[in-house]
Amino acid sequence: MKHIGKDFTPPDIFGKVTGKAKFAEDFTAEGMVYARLWTSPMPHARVKSLDVSAALAVQGVVGVLTPDDVPQSPAPNGSILTNEPVYVGDPILAIAAVDEKTAEDALGLVKIELEPLPFAVQPTDSLRPNGPTARPEGNIFTREMGELHWNEGEVERFLAGQQPTAKAPIEWQYGDLEAGFDNASVILEESFVTPGYAHMSMEPRSVLSYWENGKCFVYGSTQSQAFIMPFLAPMVGVEPKDLVYVGEYCGGGFGSKISPYPTMALPAHFAKKIGRPVMLRITREEEYYIGSARVGFQGWIKAGFTPDGKVSAVDLYIVQDLGPKRAGGDASSAGGAVSILYQPDAVRLRSVPVMTNTTPRGPQRGPGQNQITAVFEPMMDKAARQLGIDRLEIRRLNAPDSNAKLDADQGPVTSAYMQEALTLGGKRWNWAEKSKRSGKRNGNKVTGIGVGQGYHSAGANGFDGLVRITPDGRIHLHSGVGNLGTYSYASTTRAAAEALKCDWDRCEIVHGDSSLHLPWSSYQAGSNTMFTHTRANWVAATDAVNKMKEIAATTLGGNADDYDIDGERVFQTADAGRNLTYGEAAAKAIELGGKYSGMEPPEDIHAITKLALAGVQGTGLIGVAKDTLPKRGTAPGFAIGFVEIELDLETGKHEIIDYLAVAECGTVVHPQGLAGQLRGGAVWGFGMASLERHVYDPQNGLPANVGFHQCKPPTYMDVPSETDWAATDIPDPDNPVGARGIGEPAMGAATAAVMCALSDALGGHLFNRTPVTPDLIVNHVAGVEQPFGPLDINTI
């Protein structure tokens, strides 16, 4: 292939390297004022009175926005501003002033009387009889809000790590669980905790908005681009055609900026009220409040293994910490991950989604999958040890292939090559030799070897592509994909260039600004973009190719089938002298009009693509299509991490000596981009395994971690400067270039690998919780009981 599998330089890199990249807060507008938020100091309260008169009297203050000025969404949805804050940091009002200092000074003069309401920062506190509910409407959220309390015995039993007996509102199962356990020779029961923690986007979610000729302009920070439009438009009160959304760069979202978030609409409402552009720069601390966090798990697992090492049955029970607003899905995804990674005969998932007065939760890289593999993969090791099977081998013999089934409905996959991936990794990493170093002592240090797997579904379908060839021969690849940092907005367009067989230097990627006419796109999350939008780009480019052939036939004679393309020309296969350049074909397209120049949109394309088409029609040859290619199942994304650590038994600190990531994501489209995903995912995974924290004080509901230095994501000094990677590079049959996604498993594999290595270094001891911090190790080695129960959260 000409482009697929080759490195290239995505165009936004120049801006990032030179500092010319414009993130949301780098934009300005004539007459712009600055808004600042007054947020709740209490975890749950009701506004009794609100007096902003002194604040408004401050010279330079332009206006105030209160909950009464913005639409209110019913619980558990979040609103832009609220009179009933449900977590510390929930925005109550905003003040705009000529500069931020003036706005901040004015905020100090705001008088708000709050009535404190009962709050819960631990799900199990809320589940107790008469326990506090996070909202007056209840304490659990399934499809709707409800209230659930266990009896004391059920709570205590659960907190003690014993098999839960309380009914769970969410339950699914496939297979015969009892038969699965009957067939098992090893049955493991473990309780576990994977607390949620913040997304920690480097760029806080700042927003600029203004109104011009009835159109609302929003400059924001989101993972997605075109996907934002139909959801943000109603939030600011306009039709999508009257919304201009610019999100050319995004300084990290990690799941927290997939869709528009309530605060994103605040400047638009404020700008409308005061008649001036409004910039809202979010502070680092505020990012920890409104920037969301991973859903926390407290759970229990029973897993059965047959004598030959097959996982026969898995029973999962998960209490989810949802925070105070709409969230969830992680537990089901956890069950799904177990179902595909190990192909058990039977799986039951029970889940209790409990709301707490902590920071709102949202999907975070591998939401559910990465929590469960962090605890299940060390259990695989435990089973392997008991069965006398090599730890890599037990994964291989359970590994999914292209006949794999997943989830409650046991649906098919497009393809899966995990056995090949495990074999590839094992060889490249020299598992046979390195695994012998397991437990080797070097003074006070001990070597731990780990292998971990990660999974996430990695591909959607049904979205649109838009390719435009102009009479100058330039090829404009319109990408509605957001620039979330993975370069997928660019690398997916390589599929269009591949289909057009053209040189890359003739292509321009058009992205990052809805006024540039961008087609309907999936959200940039769920590891789907590579699969989804190589397809959409392929079908749009194929449409352009077909149109060129038709134009050539119309112009030069014969049938479209008589023509082919070579990247520069469309030519008659029997007589290559009869040809049109792409530019000539584009000029002809304009002349011919109709579908050729986008004047007749295909019926099945999305309304957003139709809007985009309206902006480019008549400017060239338009390739536009909805992806209707076949997709026979879930497109899975897998990764495997191999790690060697050296654990210091005296300090509890460990060093990562060596790390290899193996991607099982179909054909490699952009090697550098894939390497970036695998390495970045590994760093994050290391952080989840041993560093990152999210702690609330049960006394007062205050978060202890509202800064990078308190939350402790890994720094460059905490990770190896070099890591290795490899990929199976086996094409997926349901993608025209063979690609699937990889983002989320890249992290989960690393978390699981380190968790396994830490356990390995300690002779198989399972901590059954993340993060495994030095204090846990020091206590364990010293034989000191950990100062918390097996299911406790808020422990560090």
Partner 1 sequence: MPAYDVMPDIELFQPVSVEDAAELAGRLGEKGWLLAGGQDTFGWLKDRAKSPEAMIDLKGIDALKGIRETADGIEIGAFTTITEIAENPIIKTRFNLLASAAAHVASPQIRNMGTLGGNLCQDTRCWYYRRGLSCYRAGGNTCYASGPESMNREHAVFGASRCVAVSPSDTAPALVALEATMIATSANGSREIRAEDFFVGPAVDIVNMTTLQADEILVSVRIPNTWANAEFYFEKVADRNVWDFALVSIATAMKIEGGVIRDARILCGGVECVPRRLTAVENRVVGRPKNDATGDAVAALATVGAEPLHQNQFKIPLMENLVRRALRA
Query: Taking CB under 8 A as the criterion, which residues in 416-445 touch partner 1?
Result: 444
Query: Which DSSP symbol is given to 172?
Result: E
Stretch binding partner 1 (CB under 8 A), from 66-74, 317-325, 581-589, 698-706: 698-706
Looking at the Cβ atoms of 112 and 380, the one nearer to partner 1 is 112
Cβ(666)–Cβ(673) below 8 Å: no
Using the rule CB under 8 A, which residue among 678, 691, 754, 791 binds partner 1? 691
Using the rule CB under 8 A, which residue among 129, 697, 733, 763 binds partner 1? 697
496 Cβ partners below 8 Å, 6+ apart? 465, 467, 475, 477, 507, 537, 538, 540, 541, 623
Rounded CA gap, 22 and 15, in Å?
8
Cβ 88 to partner 1 shortest distance, Å: 8
Using the rule CB under 8 A, which residue among 58, 179, 387, 702 binds partner 1? 702
Q: How many angstroms separate the Cα of 151 from the Cα of each of 120, 135, 157, 158, 636?
A: 17, 20, 10, 11, 40
Stretch binding partner 1 (CB under 8 A), from 319-327, 518-526, 726-734, 767-775: 767-775
Looking at the Cβ atoms of 433 and 716, the one nearer to partner 1 is 716
Q: How many angstroms separate the Cα of 508 from the Cα of each of 19, 158, 259, 276, 609?
A: 21, 57, 26, 35, 19
Angle at 95 between CA 89 and CA 100, to 5 degrees: 90
Looking at the Cβ atoms of 80 and 592, the one nearer to partner 1 is 80
Q: What is the CB neighbour count within 10 angstroms for residue 716?
A: 8
Using the rule CB under 8 A, which residue among 257, 476, 578, 712 binds partner 1? 712
Using the rule CB under 8 A, which residue among 432, 574, 607, 782 binds partner 1? 782
Looking at the Cβ atoms of 56 and 599, the one nearer to partner 1 is 56
Residue 73 binds partner 1 (CB under 8 A): no
Cβ 590 to partner 1 shortest distance, Å: 52
Cβ 644 to partner 1 shortest distance, Å: 18
Looking at the Cβ atoms of 312 and 358, the one nearer to partner 1 is 358
Cβ(584)–Cβ(591) below 8 Å: no
Residue 125 binds partner 1 (CB under 8 A): no
Rounded CA gap, 2 and 201, in Å?
35
Residue 700 binds partner 1 (CB under 8 A): yes
Residue 549 binds partner 1 (CB under 8 A): no
Cβ 387 to partner 1 shortest distance, Å: 34
Residue 644 binds partner 1 (CB under 8 A): no
Cβ(176)–Cβ(351) below 8 Å: no
- N-term to C-term CA, the chain: 51
Cβ(96)–Cβ(274) below 8 Å: yes
Cβ 253 to partner 1 shortest distance, Å: 21
Residue 562 binds partner 1 (CB under 8 A): no
Using the rule CB under 8 A, which residue among 652, 685, 701, 790 binds partner 1? 652
Stretch binding partner 1 (CB under 8 A), from 153-161, 522-530, 591-599, 769-777: 769-777
Residue 54 binds partner 1 (CB under 8 A): no
- SS3 category, 498: helix
Cβ 776 to partner 1 shortest distance, Å: 8
- Taking the CA atoms of residue 224, residue 225, residue 230 and residue 233 in that order, the dihedral angle to the nearest 10 degrees is 110
Cβ(254)–Cβ(279) below 8 Å: no
Within its chain, how far is the Cα of 508 from the centroid? 27
Looking at the Cβ atoms of 515 and 715, the one nearer to partner 1 is 715
Residue 543 tokens, joined: 């449409």
Cβ(115)–Cβ(106) below 8 Å: no
- For residue 462, report the phi and psi dihedrals to the nearest 5 degrees: 95, 10
Residue tagged 């300690």 (tokens):
762
Cβ(481)–Cβ(225) below 8 Å: yes
Residue 784 binds partner 1 (CB under 8 A): yes
DSSP states along 114-157: EEE----SSHHHHHSTTPPPSBTTBSEESSSEE-----HHHHHH
Query: Which DSSP symbol is given to 470?
Result: -
Cβ 606 to partner 1 shortest distance, Å: 38
Residue 371 tokens, joined: 């929590």
Query: Taking CB under 8 A as the criterion, which residues in 102-121 touch partner 1?
Result: 104-105, 107-108, 110
Cβ(336)–Cβ(370) below 8 Å: no
Stretch binding partner 1 (CB under 8 A), from 338-346, 381-389, 635-643, 701-709: 701-709
Looking at the Cβ atoms of 15 and 698, the one nearer to partner 1 is 698
Residue 676 binds partner 1 (CB under 8 A): no
Rounded CA gap, 700 and 693, in Å?
18
Using the rule CB under 8 A, which residue among 710, 724, 764, 765 binds partner 1? 710
Cβ(454)–Cβ(370) below 8 Å: yes
Residue 588 binds partner 1 (CB under 8 A): no
Residue 301 binds partner 1 (CB under 8 A): no
Angle at 571 between CA 565 and CA 575, to 5 degrees: 135
Residue 546 tokens, joined: 């077909």
Using the rule CB under 8 A, which residue among 286, 377, 381, 732 binds partner 1? 286
Looking at the Cβ atoms of 569 and 712, the one nearer to partner 1 is 712
Cβ 283 to partner 1 shortest distance, Å: 4
Using the rule CB under 8 A, which residue among 162, 183, 283, 581 binds partner 1? 283
Residue 646 binds partner 1 (CB under 8 A): no
Instruction: Name residue 278's beta-bridge partners.
Output: 33, 209
Cβ 114 to partner 1 shortest distance, Å: 10
Q: Compute how many residues bind partner 1; rule: CB under 8 A.
A: 53
Looking at the Cβ atoms of 577 and 787, the one nearer to partner 1 is 787
- For residue 447, report the phi and psi dihedrals to the nearest 5 degrees: -85, 135
- SS3 category, 331: helix
Looking at the Cβ atoms of 103 and 726, the one nearer to partner 1 is 103
Q: ω into residue 136 within 30 of 0, thus cis?
A: no
Cβ(667)–Cβ(729) below 8 Å: yes
Rounded CA gap, 692 and 73, in Å?
32
Cβ 364 to partner 1 shortest distance, Å: 20
Residue 322 tokens, joined: 């949802």
Rounded CA gap, 583 and 567, in Å?
11
Stretch binding partner 1 (CB under 8 A), from 96-104, 392-400, 445-453, 472-480: 96-104
Cβ 4 to partner 1 shortest distance, Å: 39
Stretch binding partner 1 (CB under 8 A), from 13-21, 376-384, 665-673, 712-720: 712-720
Residue 349 binds partner 1 (CB under 8 A): no
Stretch binding partner 1 (CB under 8 A), from 266-274, 556-564, 597-605, 649-657: 649-657
Using the rule CB under 8 A, which residue among 128, 595, 653, 765 binds partner 1? 653
Give alpha helix (H) positions in 131-265: 152-159, 177-182, 229-236
- SS3 category, 768: coil
Q: Which helix (H) or strand (E) segment is 565 a member of? A: strand 563-565
Using the rule CB under 8 A, which residue among 32, 33, 40, 75 binds partner 1? 40
Residue 128 binds partner 1 (CB under 8 A): no
Query: Taking CB under 8 A as the criterion, which residues in 715-734 touch partner 1?
Result: 715-718
Residue 792 binds partner 1 (CB under 8 A): no
Residue tagged 């609302």 (tokens):
216
> Which residues contact partner 1 by CB under 8 A?
36-41, 100-101, 104-105, 107-108, 110, 283-286, 444, 650-653, 691, 695, 697-700, 702, 704, 708-710, 712, 714-718, 773-776, 778-779, 781-782, 784, 787-788, 794-796
